[in-house]
Amino acid sequence: MNNDNNSTEDSHERIVEAPISKTSSLDSLDNLDALSQYIKSTKGTREGRAIPPLEKWHPEDIADMDLTIKANGEWWHEGGPMTRESLVSLFATILWKEENNGNTEYFLKTPVQKIRIQVEDAPLLINDVGIVHEGDMSWLEFTTTTGDVVRLDDAHPIVLKAYNSNKSDSNDSDFNNSDFSESDFHNSDTANQLSTADDIADSQELASTEQVRPYMMVRNGLTALIGRNTFYHLTEIGELSEENGKTILTLQSGGQSYSLSMPTD
């Protein structure tokens, strides 16, 4: 099985530029049902869950939608959770991230319009990890709740970085202070990145009230939060060791060793 990056590249070769639907006006795409119908109508020859060539789309029209991706991975629209998983997965295929004047903005991007949404933490959530064997090579393969599949490699690292739960109003029950607490990871104000075993960087730990959470790069600059149970499964898959008073998690993927320094109390 190839990861999402490979399948995305393959899908680009099969996709023609999506036409502007005559039945969809620019003013109507900030409506959930209209946007859903538009995405489906412009799917073209894409098969399955292929990611469209968002980097080739340059819409000038920008609108806003009352849609928020909560810190626990839930999608909320107009104050209530979106319960149609198929709709959430569909919208996730057109997620787009931009840096504007030092601010990070997220959009649902179509060929004719960018629809600005809010993201409290990471736009994607990883809820599964497994080992995939290809010939004599083994890979750690991660899956998001919206269907992205990505493997741990140099282009898709894992990082630990601080998250301030106080800035979010969401019900962060799955990722509260009892998850990824100081007993699991010492809080740090710098990101600790999974790198090759020969390139483990020491990070300077400073006490803070912020949580430290694990994230992984997925696609188009989008990161995914690794859920608590998935990360604990990762510690069972990998090898834990002690070095200079720190706990080191070493993972094997694609013939490479990746290590993450998790300071102890």
Q: Do domains 8-119 and 124-263 have the same CATH topology?
A: no
Residue of 232, 237, 197 lying closest to 214 (CA atoms): 232
The pLDDT value recorded for residue 246 is 85
8-119 to CATH, choices 3.40.50.720, 3.10.540.10, 3.20.20.10, 3.40.1280.10? 3.10.540.10
In degrees rounded to 5, what are phi and psi of residue 184? -90, -45
* DSSP assignment of the chain: ---HHHHHHHHHHHPPPPPPPTT--GGGTTSHHHHHHHHHHT-TT--SSPPP-GGG-----EEEEEEEE-TTS-EEETTEE---HHHHHHHHTTEEEEEETTEEEEEEE-SS-EEEEEESS-SEEEEEEEEEEETTEEEEEEEETTS-EEE-BTTB-EEEEEE-GGG--S--GGGSTTSS-TTTS---SS-EE-EEGGGPPP------S-EEEEEEEEETTEEEEEPHHHHHHHHHHSEEEEETTEEEEEEEETTEEEEEEEE--
Query: What is the average pLDDT score of the chain?
Result: 76
pLDDT at 219 over 80: yes
Could you please state the CATH topology (level 3) that the domain comprising 124-263 is classified under: duf1285 protein fold (2.30.270)
What are the tens digits of pLDDT across the range 233-262? 999 999 999 888 888 999 999 999 999 987
- d(CA 235, CA 106) in angstroms, rounded, equals 31
pTM of the full predicted structure? 0.74
Ranking 56-70, 82-96, 138-152, 207-221 by mean pLDDT, the lowest is 207-221
Domain residue spans of the chain? 8-119, 124-263
pLDDT digits (tens, 9 = 90+) for 131-170: 999 999 999 999 999 999 999 999 999 998 888 766 555 4
CB atoms within 10 A of CB 210: 17
φ, ψ for residue 235, nearest 5 deg: -70, -25
pLDDT at 204 over 80: no
